[in-house]
Structure 1
Amino acid sequence: MKRRIYRQILSGVLGILLLLSLAGCGQTNAIAKPDKTMEAFYDLIIRQDTSAMTDLGIDSKESKETLKTYQSSMVSTIQKSFKDAGVAITKSQAKDIFKAISKKLASLEYKVSVVKKNDKESTVKVSSQYINYLDIFKQAKQTTLDELKPLHIEKLSDAKKQLVSNVIDSFNSAPVSNDMHDKTFTLNLQKIKSGKNTIRIFFPEKYEEVGSKLTEIVTNQ
């Protein structure tokens, strides 16, 4: 169950950033620094925060809609992953699990640095603390199995509730790493249409991989 859940969560990230990638024409703002772009992506995907995207010049409504779509996708993915593993949970329970995961990931410290840069291209390194994502699910599963007899849990519905509760508790109490993992990203100077304006911005060359790569960093994969 653990690895299947992780893989499907990664796949749910990939298509979400498409909403921010439309090229066009119009008012052009000052060029944002490439490290600011990657900070904005990290905040959006890992911290569920759109403010850095807005600071780049991305339309606020567009950013919020992107985040809302991402969150909805992740909740559905969590629910489906549990079902595929033989443990059907409700949408409300999936939301609670997603909230616990998001809260823990939002507590991680990170930093972004420019490795090299010219007028058209930049290489940026993102470093972040992480949690042992798969171990957390493993711990919750084992805790639930250990509790079935002592707590006299005999109904399947009660066992599911206990598993969900233990997953949430495990994420809430999970320690974060003392060190950091990092990945590098190549960004190209592009024109991005957002709302009524077009901004010149250093944007990831393979933006469809950004979500999965950032998720790999923070989940120790």
Structure 2
Amino acid sequence: MKNSKKLIMVLVSMLILVTMIAGCGQKIEPPELVAEAYYDLIVYGDTSKLETMGFAADDVNTIKEQRESQVKTTIKNTFSVSGLKISDEQLNKVMQAQLDAMKKVTCTVEPVSSDKETAVVTLKTNYVSIAEVDQKAAEDAIAEVQAMNLTTQQEVLDKATELYINKLIEALNNIQPSTETVEKNVTLKLQVFDVSGKTKKMWSPENPVTFGNDIGTMVTK
């Protein structure tokens, strides 16, 4: 069950939300800080940089709640589509293990170029091989079930699911980030947003959806 990319994908819409709820201060944050703030939101669920940029506490809390809710829903739907049952307790453990695994990666953002309207930064990050440990957990679970003398297909499915979930959680808890890094240049545009009748200039990824997808691919390579 390969759901790591999907967990990132459901957070992409938050990039647009973040941009639209920006605070009303007049300070223009540097583009590299904005890129870091988006990365922290998507990968860590960390909104601290957004708060320093003037985002309202209520908006930040809403983002955090939506992130956890969407990630949980995505995992549950992935199991359902695969014909596997997962309890609420197991769901919470898988979700937390995956989010904790992603928190082990780190990134740096360096400026490349900038003018009055466009900035380019280089985002460099290491990654966690979630798909690899996911596949191994499934293969090990199947191998163990095949060695058991289970009599019905339902018994096989239930036991395989239980073993898979337990092995996946354990693998995610023990996963280590890569020693190598991947990098990508990101283009940001200085834009003016209307927020509650007031305007704010802010750097924003040229294409938030593409930016979110790129981060998802980079951190779970």
CA contact (8 A) 1:32 1:56 kept: yes
Among 73, 76, 80, the alignment partner of 1:79 is: 76
CA shift at 1:29, angstroms?
Answer: 2.1
CA contact (8 A) 1:21 1:193 kept: no
Q: Partner of 2:11: helix, strand, or coil?
A: helix
Q: Partner of 2:85: helix, strand, or coil?
A: coil
Q: Partner of 1:30: helix, strand, or coil?
A: coil
Structure 1 unpaired stretches of 5+: none
Matching of residue 21 in structure 1 with residue 22 in structure 2: no
- For 1:139, the equivalent position in structure 2 comes to 136
CA shift at 1:17, angstroms?
Answer: 2.3
Q: Partner of 1:166: helix, strand, or coil?
A: helix
CA shift at 1:177, angstroms?
Answer: 0.8
Please tell me the residue identity of whatever aligns with 2:141. Answer: T
Question: After the TM superposition, which of the residue ranges 147-156 and 42-51 deviates more from structure 2?
Answer: 147-156
**Structure 1 CA distance for aligned equivalents of residues 195 and 174 of structure 2:** 39
Matching of residue 119 in structure 1 with residue 120 in structure 2: no
- For 2:167, the equivalent position in structure 1 comes to 166
CA shift at 1:67, angstroms?
Answer: 2.4
Root-mean-square deviation (CA), in Å?
A: 2.5
CA shift at 1:39, angstroms?
Answer: 0.8
Q: Partner of 1:123: helix, strand, or coil?
A: strand
CA shift at 1:158, angstroms?
Answer: 3.8
**1:153-181 Cα deviation digits (max 9, x unpaired):** 77343432221111111111122111111
Among 48, 52, 57, the alignment partner of 2:49 is: 52
CA shift at 1:44, angstroms?
Answer: 0.8
Aligned CA distance change for structure 1 residues 31 and 145 (closer, same or farther; 3 Å) = same
Matching of residue 181 in structure 1 with residue 178 in structure 2: no
CA contact (8 A) 1:125 1:182 kept: yes
Aligned CA distance change for structure 1 residues 160 and 88 (closer, same or farther; 3 Å) = same
- For 2:213, the equivalent position in structure 1 comes to 212
**1:30-59 Cα deviation digits (max 9, x unpaired):** 110000001111111101111011111222
Once the two structures are aligned, what percentage of the paired residues are identical?
A: 22
CA shift at 1:145, angstroms?
Answer: 1.8
**Structure 1 CA distance for aligned equivalents of residues 134 and 14 of structure 2:** 25
TM-score by length of 1: 0.87
Please tell me the residue identity of whatever aligns with 1:80. Answer: N
Q: Partner of 2:179: helix, strand, or coil?
A: coil
**1:156-213 Cα deviation digits (max 9, x unpaired):** 4343222111111111112211111112211111234567975322111111222221
Please tell me the residue identity of whatever aligns with 2:40. Answer: D
**Structure 2 CA distance for aligned equivalents of residues 158 and 192 of structure 1:** 53
**1:46-85 Cα deviation digits (max 9, x unpaired):** 0111101111122222122122212211111111112212
Please tell me the residue identity of whatever aligns with 1:17. Answer: L
Structure 2 unpaired stretches of 5+: none
Aligned CA distance change for structure 1 residues 66 and 23 (closer, same or farther; 3 Å) = closer
- For 1:106, the equivalent position in structure 2 comes to 103
CA contact (8 A) 1:14 1:212 kept: yes
